[in-house]
């Protein structure tokens, strides 16, 4: 079955700097890769996703890149702000299969 690894587990950046979180997956058939942001005590919220027919997707300060050959995808946050502080989860799945989530990255943006 699918296995998703995520690094780093914690990340601290200065406000205004960029943050990068990386995930690797094991099942080459996976074709949908969402990223979720979870604030303390709340449910995760989708912030960006990418499908296997696309190499990069951007939404304002957030971007995701996908390398199918290497089976890894990354979340890039530019010009970080204190409100970006949260736990971020990546996930991978294929049609008809359930999501497999990474263990999460706790991002702290220091003022």
Binding site for other proteins (CB under 8 A): 31-32, 34, 36, 41-46, 49, 51, 89, 93-99, 101-104
Angle at 41 between CA 36 and CA 44, to 5 degrees: 15
CB of 16 to other proteins, least distance (A): 27
Quote the CA–CA distance of 32 and 8 in Å, as a whole number: 21
Q: Which residues pair with 8 in a beta bridge?
A: none
Quote the CA–CA distance of 13 and 108 in Å, as a whole number: 6
Q: Which is nearer to other proteins, 12 or 98 (CB)?
A: 98
CB of 6 to other proteins, least distance (A): 8
Q: Which is nearer to other proteins, 74 or 93 (CB)?
A: 93
Q: Which is nearer to other proteins, 36 or 84 (CB)?
A: 36
CB of 8 to other proteins, least distance (A): 13
Distances (CA, A) of 18 to 32, 35, 41, 53, 90: 24, 17, 25, 26, 18
Q: Which is nearer to other proteins, 22 or 78 (CB)?
A: 22
């Amino acid at each position: 079955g699918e296995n998703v690894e995520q690094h780093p587990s914690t990340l601290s950046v200065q406000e205004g700097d960029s943050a990068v979180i990386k995930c690797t997956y094991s099942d080459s058939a996976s074709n949908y890769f969402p990223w979720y942001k979870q604030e303390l005590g709340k449910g995760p919220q989708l912030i960006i996703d990418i499908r296997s027919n696309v190499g990069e997707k951007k939404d304002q300060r957030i971007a995701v890149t996908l390398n199918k050959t290497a089976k890894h995808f990354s979340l890039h946050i530019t010009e970080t702000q204190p409100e970006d502080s949260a736990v971020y989860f990546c996930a991978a799945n294929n049609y008809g299969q359930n999501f497999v989530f990474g263990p999460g990255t706790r991002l702290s943006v220091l003022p």
